[in-house]
Amino acid sequence: MEPYKWDAFDYERYSTAQQQWARELIRKLELQGDEVVLDVGCGDGKVTAEIASSLPSGCVVGIDNSEEMITLAEHRYPAESFPNLRFQREDARNLPFHDEFTVVFSNATLHWIRDHLSVLEGISRSLQRGGKAVKP
């Protein structure tokens, strides 16, 4: 299945509702500041960057299947300015992580994916023992 072709700049311009939903979820995470977070479906990266700002001793990896979104996120939030934040292009249905994250976060993403079972299995593999997954 080919990735959906997003207009990343359009998404950035019109995604304030998604950002507000994400802020509610981030508050519910009650982050301590040292978590290692995976953001599944990070889009333009603005929510992922907000999470990173709550993690002075932790880090966050934002993934998205859209090359356009990852390119924009890396441009807006460069590693030199955001050392605890990185982005990578990944398919949520085939996550390459194993026991790496204390928190997996996803906001306004899973409704775009048909095969939820593979996503949930990947999230489970990605979490460290005792980790938690959060989505609306």
Residue 36 forms beta bridges with which residues?
59
Amino acid at 106: S
Query: What are 4-32's pLDDT values in tens digits?
Result: 566 555 555 555 667 666 777 788 888 99
Question: What single DSSP character describes residue 95?
Answer: -
- Please report which confidence band the pLDDT of residue 116 belongs to, taking 50, 70 and 90 as the band edges: confident
pTM above 0.85, yes or no: no
On average, the pLDDT of the chain sits at 86
* In the block, residue with structure tokens 């080919």: 2
Query: What are 122-132's pLDDT values in tens digits?
Result: 999 999 999 98
Domains and CATH numbers, the chain: 8-134 (3.40.50.150)
Is-contact 63 39, C-beta < 8 A?
yes
3-class SS of residue 38 = strand
The neighbour count for residue 99, using CB atoms within 10 Å, is 10
Distances (CA, A) of 68 to 7, 12, 41: 7, 11, 12
Residue 61 forms beta bridges with which residues?
38, 86
Query: What are 68-99's pLDDT values in tens digits?
Result: 989 999 999 999 999 999 999 999 999 999 99
